[in-house]
Amino acid sequence: AQKITQTQPGMFVQEKEAVTLDCTYDTSDQSYGLFWYKQPSSGEMIFLIYQGSYDEQNATEGRYSLNFQKARKSANLVISASQLGDSAMYFCAMREPNSGGYQKVTFGTGTKLQVIP
Amino acid sequence: EAQVTQNPRYLITVTGKKLTVTCSQNMNHEYMSWYRQDPGLGLRQIYYSMNVEVTDKGDVPEGYKVSRKEKRNFPLILESPSPNQTSLYFCASSLYGQWSSGNTIYFGEGSWLTVV
C-alpha cells in the first residue's frame, strides 16, 4: 500500500481563489509528522508547513494551512488567495519511526498546481 | 547561512563512467539522505545516514553507494551509471537521526543528472 497518496496529478485554480491539495497517508504508528513542500520549475524544494500527529490545532503558515483529519488519515494543504507564484509542484511527505527507532520519510507523487490569471 | 550544498548541479555523463555527487551541510545535522525524483513517482529515498559511519538503504539503493566519513559530508557514488539513473537527485539533512517528529528537513538545490 502507498504510504502517501496524492490523487490529483494536476490542478488549476483562478488567481485569488483558494485551493485544496489532497493528501492521505497510511501508518500504524501513533507518532508521525506530515510535511508539505513546494517545488517551482527551478527545481528546489521549499518547506511550507508541518503537522505533528499529536498537534491538536491545524498548522497554519501565512496563506498555507493544513487540514489535518487524523481519523481519516488525511492532511490536505489549503492555499488561500492563490497567486501566480504559487504555480508549482506540491509534495506531501510523512516522517515516522522505522523499526530501528530512526526516522523514515516518504513522499507522495506530487500535485502540479497551475494558477490562472 | 544554513544550507545543504550539492555538486554538480547539472551533469551529462556516459554509461559506465563513475561519478560522485557531493553533498555538504553546515548545520551539524546528524541525519542525511539522498533522494531521486522521477516524473509520476515523486521522491524516492536511495540511502540515508543516521550519523557518521552509520548508513542504510532506502527504497531504491541499487546502483548507488554512499559513505559518511564526516558529519557534514554525504557523497552519492554511481560506480557504473546507466541511462535509468537519469534523474533529479536531492540531498537532504535534518538535525536528529533518531526519531523526532518535528525535525525539519532541509534540501539541497538538486542535481540534474543525465546518463547517455
Residue A78 backbone phi and psi in degrees, to 5: -110, 125
How far is the alpha carbon of A22 from chain B, nearest alpha carbon, in Å? 15
CB contact under 8 A, A107 and B110: no
Rounded Cα distance, A33 and B33, in Å = 17
Bond before B75 cis per omega within 30 degrees:
no
When comparing pLDDT for B83 and B51, which is higher?
B83
Contact (CB, 8 A) for B81 and A31 = no
- pLDDT score of B115: 97
Contacts of A105 in chain B (CB under 8 A): 33, 45, 92, 105
Rounded Cα distance, B114 and A64, in Å = 35
The gap from C-alpha B10 to its chain's centroid, in whole angstroms, comes to 14
Neighbours of A66 (CB within 10 A): 24
**What band does B26 get if pLDDT is binned at 50, 70 and 90?**
very high
Neighbours of B11 (CB within 10 A): 15
Label residue A116 exposed, middle or buried (CB < 10 Å: 0-12, 13-18, 19+).
exposed
Q: Span B34-57, mean pLDDT?
A: 93
- pLDDT score of A101: 72
Checking if the pLDDT of B99 tops 70, the result is no
pLDDT digit string (tens) for B54-78?
899 999 999 999 999 999 999 999 9
From the candidates A30, A45, A89, A94, which should be mutated to test the interface with B, based on the most B CB atoms within 10 A?
A45
- pLDDT score of A91: 97
Residues constituting chain A = 117
- pLDDT score of B1: 81
- pLDDT score of B100: 64
- pLDDT score of B96: 79
- pLDDT score of A1: 62
CA-based angle A9:A14:A19, to the nearest 5? 55
Q: Of the candidates B31, B40, B107, which has its C-beta nearest A103's C-beta?
A: B31
**What band does B98 get if pLDDT is binned at 50, 70 and 90?**
low
A65 grid coordinates: 494551512
Q: What residues in chain A have per-residue pLDDT under 50?
A: none
Share of chain B above pLDDT 90, in %: 83
Rounded Cα distance, B35 and B105, in Å = 12
Share of chain A above pLDDT 90, in %: 83
Q: Specify the DSSP class assigned to residue B53.
A: T
Question: Would you call B44 an interface residue with chain A, using a CB distance cutoff of 8 Å?
Answer: yes
